[in-house]
Amino acid sequence: MANPPRPLWRLTATEILPLLHSGQVTVTDYAKSLLERIQARNHVKAWVWLPPSLILHQAKALDDIPTDERTMLYGLPIGIKDIILTKDMPTQYNSRNYESEDPINADASCILTLRANQALIFGKTTTTEFASTKQGGWHQNLTSNVHDQSRTPGGSSSGSAAAVADFQVPVALGTQTGGSIVRPASYNGCYGFKPTHGAISREGIAQWCPTLDTCGFFARTVEDLELLSNAFRILDDEPVPSHPFDLRTAKIGFCNSYNWSKAGPGTVGAMAKARDLLRRHGAQIEEVELPNDFARVLDWHAIVLAGEGQTSFLGRYLAAQSLLHESIKGYVENHKHVRHADLLAAYDGVARLRPIFDNIAVGYDVIITPSVIDEAPVGLEDTGDMSMCSTWTILHVPAINIPGFAGAHGMPIGLTAVTARYRDRHLLHAAKAIGEVFEGEGGWKASNL
Amino acid sequence: MANPPRPLWRLTATEILPLLHSGQVTVTDYAKSLLERIQARNHVKAWVWLPPSLILHQAKALDDIPTDERTMLYGLPIGIKDIILTKDMPTQYNSRNYESEDPINADASCILTLRANQALIFGKTTTTEFASTKQGGWHQNLTSNVHDQSRTPGGSSSGSAAAVADFQVPVALGTQTGGSIVRPASYNGCYGFKPTHGAISREGIAQWCPTLDTCGFFARTVEDLELLSNAFRILDDEPVPSHPFDLRTAKIGFCNSYNWSKAGPGTVGAMAKARDLLRRHGAQIEEVELPNDFARVLDWHAIVLAGEGQTSFLGRYLAAQSLLHESIKGYVENHKHVRHADLLAAYDGVARLRPIFDNIAVGYDVIITPSVIDEAPVGLEDTGDMSMCSTWTILHVPAINIPGFAGAHGMPIGLTAVTARYRDRHLLHAAKAIGEVFEGEGGWKASNL
């Protein structure tokens, strides 16, 4: 007996694209299916701006493109974190100072790339205020975790992670300054990819820390992340082998990192299980001890947040101080008393460690490390702890959350794979094979919902 | 016999501000005086957008602010390089793809800061295409050198430098990725200040190279640069002494830099005269030899231009390739065959040198080095050679063009003073005293026109 057909909203980007390209499914029908899914899952509140008439209007325009003029991301709906400028939708930054529903009439550079590839900009997803607070601003933190309404989806790319994990859209854009892609991906149970720092233009994206801010993607499969990486021309110097990554010849590092004392039972368990699973699949597993200097990286990360926050938020502070979150005011008023000398020590210290880490990392196919301290905590008012991610963000290396494990309350827990800078495609290549093992045998699947 | 009163447009920001604050001069009258000056000097073509009715409307609104509510930059007209977003004026990037006269309705972060300080955004000044070419795009290179219509004003902050040097506006914003502030300041004969990289938010400014792009100021006096630095809260860890900088106790380094072989007679003469003048004013002069590794910095700078240009321009390229300048297409298509490995070698190499240079620099009050290879060349189609500036840009140190010398054709030539990162105010403090000597005895004054 044949299974009933899967609803369109269940498909991944890689699954739907050939159907759209060939015209077997119209962009309009696919968009309608997603809109229905979103309506049925309204309580997740992943979106701050979702204009059905505009979406269907644009879907229709895409349907009118002749088959032979359809390009890489033809008809692909994508959620956009609401700190990224979209000329036809407002950008509100979850800020009381940006309540206007008039769009800022310019596209961020990354949106230009998506539109040129015929993607369908679907709507704006929730964020914390200017992607820099743990608490919300204007809207507070609207979004709930996809798997438990009482728990946080993580932040600051809350809505993008939730929308993708909840099958409301196949892919979404997020940004990471500390752990704002990897953490919500882990909390909601999907893939979240932060490429090498600088791999995607940040023009038109709210600035917090130029040294850290990185645009990246959410998806439910690694193939979908590869698809977006193709569109953004994220390529390694050495091409990835065309055959699948083979765990039996793999050498995989495990790095507990300097925050290991914070790790809860969910993360401790996931790391142990991951070691065991990968070993059983034939991989050589080796513990990675970072040199002592790396113990300072977390402090340096905090200094950069504060030091660059002071500059980045000055204009908004002077324009409308009373409308800003306390933590943002704190940056401008330098409540942490960060001196330029501290900031320079952080810059120069971590710059010295970047090539050292790269040299360590190229000794492994990937290094596995925690994504979060544990499963998503209860309560929406705090989006959780970024500290497991910050080291990789400030080292500028590509990082991906791979789902596959569950915590004590059955909530998803992912692990992060990292490698050296600009080995993004090698990372994705390995993550695909590792994800199959984690999702297959770790106790939790991205398609569980 | 009393001199006839100077026209208002002749005043510096520091001179006009108290008159505006007290109401002795209205913002409207001052703005009208500048508009008359601009009209009389129309051939300079420093502006791509200059809306008299909007200016006078805003001037009137400023006039209506009660005296006791007037703040730091009250009524100060400022020119804005046309790659910086202004919500009430179009931003056209000198690009054939941005011919629309509809403003992008958001202010760059730096514009928020200026407006919050009650500055008067006066108009948009010419730039080369996306501030990244030497040739113009849509408008070609409109602007001519203030002192000779047949010569280039330099670029990419062409209009900002020309407008300030020509007394069309007291101050202006520019940006520098190679030498786009210092070079046009030298060519037109005014002060141009590129602060420490990152000292001013770049949100809302076109991105070319996040590692290099720096917002800065043009003015006709160092006091005016200090005024703007106050508004942007550019402060050193150690405050500058309240007494004027004393050349008699100063230790000043001279660094010919690795491009000295390119220096023409104007720059060679200016460096010699500067040594002599400062020595005669009591300063201890010392030649600064940078370690051999610094010889690689220029190559690294070129690699960063190409490598980051590839990412930054991807969106605009995919959106409208045929409308882009060849050099910008070349970045995206990677005509220079820059590999990620090259880019990382550049990043890590120069990151290692930054603290080394800082350590050298703090041994001197400032280090004097060329701004340009010589006076502004004939012809508007090429904005000149950035190579004397690139080293300081990629080292992230503050740099200021100090005018005061003249070349073989009587065109202005400035010299650059640099110091360690985040010693911006110490640099300005010393530059004021040095500028008095250069302008007083070097053969060329910023107020010559």
Smallest Cβ–Cβ distance between A311 and the set B117, B198, B312 belongs to: B198
Q: Do A109 and B312 touch (CB under 8 A)?
A: yes
Could you tell me how far CA A375 lies from the centroid of its own chain? 17
Nearest-CB residue to B341 (from A237, A314, A343): A237
DSSP assignments along B408-420, one per residue: TTS-EEEEEEE-S
pLDDT at A445: 83
Q: Two tokens at B82?
A: 């046309």
Q: How far is CA B253 from CA A324, B279, B367, B431, in A?
A: 45, 11, 4, 13
Put simply, the answer to whether B348 touches A355 (Cβ < 8 Å) is yes
Task: Specify burial of residue B359 (Cβ count, 10 A radius: 0-12, 13-18, 19+).
Answer: exposed
In tens, the pLDDT along B343-364 reads 999 999 999 999 999 999 999 9
Supply the DSSP string of B35-95, one letter for each residue.
HHHHHHTGGG--EEE--HHHHHHHHHHHHTS-GGG--TTTT-EEEEETTB-BTTB---TT-
Q: Using a CB-CB distance cutoff of 8 angstroms, which residues of chain A are in contact with residue B347?
A: 351, 354
- As a whole number of angstroms, the longest Cα–Cα distance in chain B is 70
**Contact call for B198 and A116, based on CB within 8 A:** no
Q: What angle do CA A126, A132, A138 make, to 5 degrees?
A: 50
- Closest to B109 (Cβ–Cβ): which among A232, A315, A339? A315
Domain assignment present for B159: yes
Distances (CA, A) of B261 to A238, B290, B391: 38, 16, 15
Disruptive mutation site among A197, A238, A318, A321 for chain B (greatest number of B CBs within 10 Å): A318
Q: Which residues of B touch A316 (CB under 8 A)?
A: 109, 112
Give me the residue label for tokens 């409307």: B57
Cis peptide preceding B156, ω within 30 of 0: yes
Mean pLDDT of B120-127: 98
Judged by CB atoms closer than 8 Å, whether chains meet at A237 and B339 is answered as: yes
Using a CB-CB cut-off of 8 Å, the residues of chain B touching A328 are none
Q: Which of A87, A201, A234, A300 to mutate against chain B (most B CBs within 10 Å)?
A: A201
Which residues are A405's β-sheet partners?
A413
Give the CA distances from residue A181 to residues A78, A188, A397, A401, B448, in Å, rounded to whole numbers and listed in that order: 15, 11, 14, 8, 56
In a domain, A138, yes or no: yes
- Closest-CA residue in chain A for B203? A207
Backbone angles phi, psi at A212, to 5 degrees: -125, -40
Q: Which two tokens stand for residue B212?
A: 């290099």
| In-domain check, residue B330 | no
Of B104, B236, B354, the CB nearest to A348: B354
State the SS3 of A281-346: CCCEEEECCCCHHHHHHHHHHHHHHHHHHHHHCHHHHHHHHHHCCHHHHHHHCCCCCCCHHHHHHH
**pLDDT at residue A136 in the model:** 63
pLDDT band at B372 (very low <50, low <70, confident <90, very high): very high
**Token duo for residue B329:** 């297409």
High-pLDDT (> 90) share of chain B, %? 94
Closest CA to B57 of B27, B81, B82, B78: B27
CB atoms within 10 A of CB A440: 12
Residue A2: pLDDT over 60: no
pLDDT of the residue at B69? 98
List the CATH number of the domain containing B13. 3.90.1300.10
pLDDT per residue as tens digits for the range B142-152: 899 999 999 99
d(CA A308, CA B196): 13
**Confidence (pLDDT) at B245:** 98
- A366 close to A393: Cβ distance less than 8 angstroms: no
Across the range B318-347, mean pLDDT stands at 96
Residue of A nearest to B92 (CA): A106
Pull the structure tokens for residue B38.
Answer: 């601009």
Does B391 map to a domain? yes
**CB within 8 Å: B316 and A355:** no
Name the residue among B96, B193, B129, B114 with its Cα closest to residue B400.
B193
Task: Read off the pLDDT of each residue in B377-401 and give the average, rounded to a whole number.
Answer: 95
Q: Is B180 a catalytic residue?
A: yes
Catalytic member of B81, B134, B273, B432: B81
Terminal-residue alpha carbon distance, chain B: 23
Residues of chain A in contact with residue B206, where contact means CB-CB under 8 angstroms, are 203
Average pLDDT over residues B172-193: 98
pLDDT of residue A55: 98
Catalytically active residues of A, by annotation: 81, 156, 180
Residue from A143, A122, A142, A127 nearest A52 by CA: A122
Taking the C-alpha atoms of B375, B381, B383 and B384 in order, what is their torsion angle to the nearest 10 degrees? -60
Which of the four pLDDT bands, split at 50, 70 and 90, describes residue B131?
very high
Inside any domain, residue B33: yes
Nearest Cα to A362, choosing from A408, A282, A421? A421
**Both tokens assigned to A288:** 């990675």
Which of A394, A442, A89 shows the shortest CA–CA distance to A212?
A: A394
pLDDT band for position A447 (50/70/90)? low
User: To the nearest whole number, what is the mean pLDDT of chain B?
Assistant: 96
Q: How far is A336 from A246, CA to CA, in rounded Å?
A: 48
The candidate with the shortest Cα–Cα distance to B46, out of B73, B14, B82, is B82
pLDDT at B117: 98
Return the structure tokens found at B14: 């520091």
Q: Which of B111, B202, B340 sits opposite A207 (nearest CB)?
A: B202
What is the spatial distance between Cα A58 and Cα A66, in angstroms, rounded to a whole number? 15
Rounded to the nearest angstrom, the minimum Cα separation between B12 and chain A is 25
For residues B210-228, give the mean pLDDT: 98
Mean pLDDT score, B109-138: 92
Identify the three-state secondary structure at position B241.
coil
From the centroid of its chain, how far is CA A410? 22
Domains contained in chain A, number: 1
Q: What angle do CA B18, B21, B26 make, to 5 degrees?
A: 105
Q: Interior CA angle at A293 toward A290 and A295, to 5°?
A: 75
A207 found inside a domain: yes
Residue A378 maps to a domain:
yes
Q: What is the DSSP letter of A198?
A: T
Residues from chain B contacting residue A211 (CB–CB below 8 Å): 198
Contacts of A311 in chain B (CB under 8 A): 198-201
Tell me which amino acid residue B251 is: K
Interval B283-304: pLDDT, tens: 999 999 999 999 999 999 999 9
Mean pLDDT along residues A174-189: 98
Taking alpha carbons only, the member of B368, B371, B369 closest to residue B430 is B368
Q: How many CB pairs under 8 A join A and B?
A: 133
Q: Do A198 and B344 touch (CB under 8 A)?
A: no
User: Given strand A47-49, what is the order of strands in its sheet?
Assistant: A47-49, A120-125, A77-81, A171-176, A214-219, A191-194, A399-406, A412-418, A366-370, A251-254, A284-287
pLDDT average, residue stretch B424-432: 98
Report the C-alpha gap between A420 and A338 in whole angstroms.
30
φ/ψ (deg, to 5) at A215: -85, 140
Residue B323: inside a domain: no
Report chain A residues whose CB lies below 8 A from the CB of B211.
198
Pair type for strands A251-254 and A284-287: parallel
Closest-CA distance of chain A to residue B329, Å: 15
Residue A259 in contact with residue A292, Cβ under 8 Å? no
**pLDDT tens, residue by residue, A288-327:** 999 999 999 999 999 999 999 999 999 999 999 999 999 9
* pLDDT at A140 (0 to 100): 75
Q: What angle do CA B235, B237, B239 make, to 5 degrees?
A: 70
Point out the residue among A115, A314, A351 whose CB comes nearest to the CB of B113. Answer: A314
pLDDT of residue B259: 87
- Confidence tier at A258 by pLDDT (50, 70, 90): confident
Domain with A395, as residue range(s), is 8-233+248-297+337-441
Which pLDDT value is given to residue B136? Answer: 63
Between A173 and B259, name the one with better pLDDT: A173
- Residue B141: pLDDT band with limits 50, 70, 90: confident
Residue of A nearest to B204 (CA): A204
H or E element in which residue A248 lies: none
CB–CB of B311 and A201 under 8 A? Answer: yes
Confidence check: pLDDT of A395 > 80:
yes
Which phi and psi angles does B223 have, rounded to 5°?
A: -55, -40
Would you state the structure tokens that stand for residue A138, as one six-digit string?
């204007």
**Tell me: the pLDDT tens digits for A28-40?**
999 999 999 999 9
CB contact under 8 A, A347 and B340: no
Is there a catalytic annotation at residue B87?
no
**Amino acid B140: pLDDT:** 74
Chain B positions in Cβ-Cβ contact with residue A207 (cut-off 8 Å):
109, 201-203
Residue in B315, B340, B347 closest to A113 by CB = B315
Q: How far is A271 from chain B (nearest CA, A)?
A: 31
* Per-residue pLDDT at A448 exceeds 70: no
Least confident segment among A42-56, A333-347, B134-148: B134-148
